[in-house]
Structure 1
């Protein structure tokens, strides 16, 4: 088994609906994302011969997925009143409405899925919401 690992980060705000504690309030994180690729065989020909994949392409894909979430307000679909969403958008705020609760666990799953959709053999994504607290998603 062969693997690659790279990481990037993004800054965003979120809140957790139906949570009883500090995280029910709007707050932000510098999210650290560590992505892992796994494959049984290395490339057989061309520029990626004897590689899992080109590191540059891997890093670019992870950065693009993180950049799509950078400096935006991550909102779980249906947790804010439509008038609130409209008011925030009218003020020029960047919102990313997601169909899941914006936990580190779900963000790890989301990013792994996005990388897999790009054809990368993503096996695991770790998302740190603080330097010491990390959630992991392991793909099947």
Structure 2
């Protein structure tokens, strides 16, 4: 089995709905995203001969995904009133509405699925909320 690893980061704000503690309030993180690719065999021909994939392709894919979220307010769909969203939008805030609770665990799954959607054999993503705390999503084989 062969593997590659790259990482990217983004700054983003969020809060956790239905949570009782500090994270129920709006706060931000420097999110660090570490992604892993895995393949049983290396490419057999062309540019990617003897590679899992071209590192440049992998790095650009992950960086493009983190750039989409950089300096935005990550909002779980349905967690804020429409009038609140309208006011934030009117004030010029950058919002990213996501269909899941904005936990590190859910973000790890989100990044893994987005990389797979691009044809990359993503096997794992780690999302760090702080330098010492991360959540991991491991994609099931097959």
Q: Shorter-chain TM-score category?
A: over 0.9
Secondary structure at 2:120 match in 1:
coil
Secondary structure at 2:114 match in 1:
helix
In 2, the alpha carbon distance for the partners of 1:134 and 1:94 equals 25
Report the counterpart of residue 106 of structure 1 in structure 2: 106
Report the counterpart of residue 21 of structure 1 in structure 2: 21
Is 1:55 the counterpart of 2:58? The answer is no
Q: Structure 1 stretches of 5 or more lacking a match?
A: none
Aligned-pair CA distance for 1:122? 0.1
Aligned-pair CA distance for 1:108? 0.2
In 1, the alpha carbon distance for the partners of 2:116 and 2:86 equals 33
In 2, the alpha carbon distance for the partners of 1:66 and 1:49 equals 28
- Alpha carbon RMSD of aligned pairs, Å? 0.3
Under a length normalisation based on structure 1, what TM-score does the superposition of the two structures give?
Answer: 0.99
Report the counterpart of residue 129 of structure 1 in structure 2: 129
Secondary structure at 1:68 match in 2:
helix
Secondary structure at 1:38 match in 2:
strand
Report the counterpart of residue 80 of structure 2 in structure 1: 80
In 2, the alpha carbon distance for the partners of 1:58 and 1:100 equals 25
Secondary structure at 1:30 match in 2:
strand
Report the counterpart of residue 5 of structure 2 in structure 1: 5
In 2, the alpha carbon distance for the partners of 1:44 and 1:89 equals 49
Aligned-pair CA distance for 1:84? 0.2
Aligned-pair CA distance for 1:55? 0.4
In 2, the alpha carbon distance for the partners of 1:79 and 1:5 equals 34
Structure 1 runs (4+) deviating above 2 angstroms are none
Secondary structure at 2:51 match in 1:
coil
Under a length normalisation based on structure 2, what TM-score does the superposition of the two structures give?
Answer: 0.98
